Structure formats: C-alpha cells, structure tokens
C-alpha cells in the first residue's frame, strides 16, 4: 500500500482564540494530503478532472481527534488509499505533530467517481493503475 506524507504548518487563520486548530480544518488538511498523494503517484488531480472528465465526490468523511494542534506547529499528514472499487475510492489519514510524532487525529474519506454531471461512473481506465481494485 502506497502512502504519502505531506507537511503543513498550522496557520493562524485555522486556529481559535486559544491558538488551537479548529476541528473542521482537519478536513481541509485531508484534502491537501489527498491532492499531494495523487501528485506523488504521478498525476495532478486537476488533470484527472480536466482530461478524464471525472472527479471524486465525498460520500463519507470522519475524523477522530486525539490531541490539539496549535498555531505554527508543523504537522505531518500521512495519506493512503486503503480501498478501491470500480466506482469508489477510500483514503485514510493520520495527522501527527512533527516535533514528537504524537497522533493528533486520524480519519477516512470515501469518494465516488463522478462525471461532470455528478453521476457515478467507473474509474477511468487511464487512472486504474494508480488505484488498483481491492483493499486491505
């Protein structure tokens, strides 16, 4: 199973008045990691949308919070594709404080492959090698 690590630094705009990262921003970080995951596999997500005429619509998203991230802390986001079917792809994420490796949050997203009209379609042939069918 291929995994990719993306490094971000918690920005001031992502925190509350106590300097703690607001919970919804972890979902934004998951998206950043997913786009970087595709780049690490060898394609740009925007090209997937443009050239294949397909997108990945979020069907489910979950996040379990373990510890707080704070303003200006470097965070590592580990992203993996854990399941791929003909019409869906599931990713998992771990967000860890870079300084000590402490798990801050873990999550998953399930995506449907959709066409420009929003209808579910099969994963385009060109991209199947990046997401082999099956799971762990």
Q: Is residue 12 classed as helix, strand or coil in its secondary structure?
A: helix
- 49-104 pLDDT, tens digit per residue, is 888 889 999 999 999 999 999 999 999 999 999 999 999 999 999 999 999 999 99
Alpha-carbon distance values, 103 to 1, 30, 57, 87 (Å): 20, 14, 27, 31
Model pLDDT for residues 11-51, shown as the tens digit of each residue: 999 999 999 999 999 999 999 999 999 999 999 999 888 88
In DSSP terms, 57 is beta-bridged to: 112
Distance CA 66, CA 53 (A): 38
Give the pair of three-digit tokens for residue 128: 């199947």
Neighbours of 90 (CB within 10 A): 19
Domains of the chain (ranges plus CATH)?
Answer: 3-135 (3.10.129.10)
Distance between CA atoms of residues 121 and 15, nearest Å: 38
pTM beyond 0.85, yes or no = yes
Count the Cβ atoms, other than its own, within 10 Å of residue 38.
Answer: 21
């Amino acid at each position: 199973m291929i995994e990719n690590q993306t490094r971000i630094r918690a920005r001031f705009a992502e925190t509350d008045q106590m300097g703690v990262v607001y919970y919804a921003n972890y979902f934004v970080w998951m998206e950043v990691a997913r786009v970087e995951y595709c780049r690490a596999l060898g394609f740009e997500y925007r090209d997937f949308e443009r050239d294949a005429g397909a997108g990945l619509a979020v069907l489910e998203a979950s996040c379990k919070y373990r510890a707080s991230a704070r303003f200006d802390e470097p965070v590592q986001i580990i992203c993996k594709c854990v399941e791929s079917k003909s019409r869906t792809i599931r990713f998992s994420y771990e967000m860890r404080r870079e300084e000590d490796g402490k798990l801050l949050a873990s999550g998953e997203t399930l995506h449907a492959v959709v066409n420009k009209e929003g209808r579910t379609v099969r994963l385009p042939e060109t991209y199947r090698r990046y997401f082999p069918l099956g799971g762990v």
